[in-house]
Chains A and B, each alone.
Chain A
Amino acid sequence: MILPGNASCQGCPISMAMRCLDEISKPVLVIPAGCSTVIAGLHPKSAMNGPVVHVPFPSTHSVAAGLSEAYKRIGVKANVVAWMGDGAADIGFAALSASAARKDDLITIVVDNEAYMNTGTQASLSTFWKARTTTSPAGKTEERRNLALIMLAHKADYVATASVGYIRDLRRKFRKAGVMKGFRFIHVHTPCPPGWKFPSEKTVDVARKAVMSGAWILWEYDGKLKLSKAGEKYASKENRIPLEDYLKQGRFSHLSDEEIRELEQKIDEDWELLLRFS
């Protein structure tokens, strides 16, 4: 759906995820404010060869629900896709939760770069504990929120996490969501070179290391929670790479060894919590 020559930064993970939208038939994109707004193109041009409805920040799911409901009534087949960053998921959380609870017939794709990147890397609810952002210059003091697990608690029809480091897995999940009905939610890990401060050719590398170190867990739920094949072996700690390898990013350069151990412990707790649902 995304055309070449768009306005994304070098090494942008969002444009990588956007390329995978071709797995979903008849998409109608609803995009709130964020990097994706810019990538999708400035008026009167468009970088997407399909319909895009640009909307205000907190309205994404409600506009998407309105579109989906109206298409149903007028007999139009469509996959309404609420395509948002972690920022829109923060500010639009009430609408997201209501949409999931209503089981609106739409696909949500959250491209999570763990901060408000379009406005200049301010901390979001997804920002990693201790990560530096422009509003947490000494490192964030709160832990990240696990959005996908919250969606699972809504008994959404489909919930998955994915990563731009594992495109085949990501494409499979887009494809699967595309042929299902109901409320489908995919949380895509999208490491951001300028925001996280790593070289722009390293996006895939960083994304893979997030999974290999256990910091990003690949799983899906379609009535039953299971770990995705691409990352299931990292459930065992001995299979993981050292966390330090993943943390080689500018936003973590200030961490002490002790803080890294603490981070590791938090990651272990995330695994433990998730596996209770499996």
Chain B
Amino acid sequence: MQRSVRTEGNRNSSGIKKLLTSNEAIAEAVRIAKPDVIAAYPITPQSPIVERLAEMVDSGELDASFVRVESEYSAMAVVHGAATAGARVFTATSSHGLAYMFEMCWWIAGSRLPAVMAVATRSIGAPWNIHGDHTDIMSLRDAGWIIGMAESAQEAFDMTLQAFVVSEEVNIPFAVGIDAFTMSHTAEVVEVRDVRLPKRKQAYRILPDMEVAVNAVTLGDARMRARYDLAVDLEKSAEVIERTDSEFGSYGGLVEKYRLEDAEYAVVMAGGWCGDAKDAIDMLRDEGVKIGMLRLRFIRPFPEKAVKELPSEILVVDRANTGFRGILGIETSSCGVEVKNVVAGLGGLYVDVDRFYNLFRKFVDGKIEKVEWLI
């Protein structure tokens, strides 16, 4: 099997411990990944990522082109163009920025171009709200992206580096999600490992003198084939994620199983707020309740196998809804399991350990309806 990281020691190498927010941790990871072109437009709470990268480029710490664009739409379009020419690329956004670049998100995925984007996951208006939920990143679900959700600054760092490797191996763009503020602006100790990545590779690139047209008008057969191939390859990317997991922190691949070994009750969640939920699970465990968590590290490819292995009592706690249940509630139940679904924590509404405890207690007591909103 092909080794994605050539340098020996990526698996066990130790790095320098630094106090970093998840935004800063991602900027550090991008510096180490040595992208050729970065394009971004500021938006809260993502801005510190690209501000830090701009500083690195200006100081010479990072040898990359930083293209200052007039919108997120153009950020993704510049990244798209640069990737078409064969450059390693990065951008970051959040909320309305992701909504604004939505068309280009589909285009870059459909073009099968590798790219990495950080998303500081934030609510989408109206009304205005700059705080955390997962509404923005979940909207990428159908576009054909790999979608990862980190829980800590360390994981944000590791996942960002892994994102370049995975994206460039499967020719699918990769979004790394971090919770707004509670991760993006909260400092934690991060071990910054100077990982070496393989050289940029991709399925194709467009150069002068080539007689080729990319993305010309198609009829149904070619479009159907392209969409089918993307769907198949997106599922296959799970293998690459699992294979390279041990080189980027050994988190368990698509999922983290937390106290699930003998669990009779399972909570399914994703993102930074899982930390508080785990504390609540510990409290219930102390009381003898056999409960655990399946933390979805990836939304695409969706960890179907891990969901199917869960005990029969499942509670999915969503931070994004569809108008018909929460998004992860729908996704999880589509794997053929019965779930209870709670939508909570929208717009940064804080769900602390006590509220998680009460919620999980209610679940264990069988008092949760099929779909509930924690308001």
Contact = CB atoms under 8 A, between A and B. Distances in A.
Contacts of A38: 217
Interface string B80-103: 111111110100000000000001
Contact of B73 (A27, A58, A64, A72): A58
Interface stretch (A41-49, A158-166, A244-252): A41-49
A234 to B, nearest CB: 36
A114 B83 CA distance: 33
Given A37-B217, A69-B37, A59 B107 contact: yes
A26 interface: yes
A95 interface: yes
Interface stretch (A74-82, A139-147, A177-185): A74-82
B214 interface: yes
Contacts of A72: 65
Contacts of A53: 81, 84, 206, 214-215
B217 A30 contact: no
Interface residues of A, number: 46
Task: Say whether chain B's binding surface is mostly helix, strand, loop, or mixed.
Answer: mixed
Contacts of A42: 216-219
B213 A48 contact: yes
A65 interface: yes
B212 interface: yes
Interface size class of B (residues with CB under 8 A): 35 or more
Interface in A45-101: 46, 48-56, 58-59, 61-74, 76-79, 94-95, 97-98
A63 B80 contact: yes
A52 B216 contact: yes
Contacts of A102: 67-68
Q: Max chain A CB contacts within 10 Å: which of B87, B107, B218?
A: B87
A74 B87 contact: yes
A70 B222 contact: no
Given A28-B206, A50-B209, A73 B87 contact: yes
A182 B128 CA distance: 40
Contacts of B67: 65-66, 69, 102
Contacts of B209: 26, 50-51
A191 B240 CA distance: 54
A67 B107 CA distance: 15
Contacts of A66: 37, 39, 67, 77-85, 87, 89
Given A98-B74, A102-B68, A63 B208 contact: no
A70 B81 contact: yes
Q: Max chain B CB contacts within 10 Å: which of A51, A68, A72?
A: A51
Interface string B28-56: 00000000110100000000000000000
Contact of A76 (B73, B207, B213): B207
A62 B77 contact: yes
B42 to A, nearest CB: 14
Given A40-B216, A59-B73, A51 B208 contact: yes
B104 interface: yes
Contacts of A98: 69-70, 74
Q: Max chain B CB contacts within 10 Å: which of A37, A52, A102?
A: A52
Contacts of B87: 66, 69-70, 73-74
Interface in A172-193: none
B158 to A, nearest CB: 27
B73 A62 contact: yes
B375 interface: no
Contact of B212 (A51, A62, A69): A51
Interface string B195-219: 0000000000011111111111111
Q: Max chain A CB contacts within 10 Å: which of B67, B71, B103?
A: B67
A56 B208 contact: no
Given A51-B210, A62-B77, A44 B222 contact: yes
B78 A65 contact: yes
Contacts of A64: 81
Contacts of B68: 102
Given A64-B81, A65-B67, A73-B65, A26 B208 contact: yes
A264 B258 CA distance: 77
A59 B104 contact: yes
Contact of A52 (B79, B81, B82, B214): B214
B215 A54 contact: yes
Contacts of B74: 59, 61-62, 94-95, 98
A54 B85 CA distance: 13
Contacts of B70: 94-95, 97-98
Contacts of B86: 70, 74
Contacts of A28: 206-208
Contacts of A51: 206-214
Given A52-B214, A59-B107, A67-B82, 16 more contacts: A37-B217, A38-B217, A42-B217, A52-B213, A52-B216, A53-B215, A55-B107, A58-B73, A61-B74, A62-B73, A66-B79, A69-B67, A69-B81, A74-B36, A95-B74, A102-B68
16 contacts: A28-B208, A51-B208, A52-B216, A53-B84, A53-B206, A58-B73, A59-B107, A62-B77, A66-B83, A66-B84, A67-B81, A69-B37, A69-B82, A73-B37, A77-B208, A94-B74
Interface of B: 36-37, 39, 65, 67-71, 73-75, 77-87, 89, 103-104, 107, 206-219, 222
The 10 closest A-B pairs by CB, nearest first: A66-B81, A62-B77, A70-B85, A63-B81, A66-B82, A62-B74, A70-B87, A59-B77, A98-B70, A26-B208
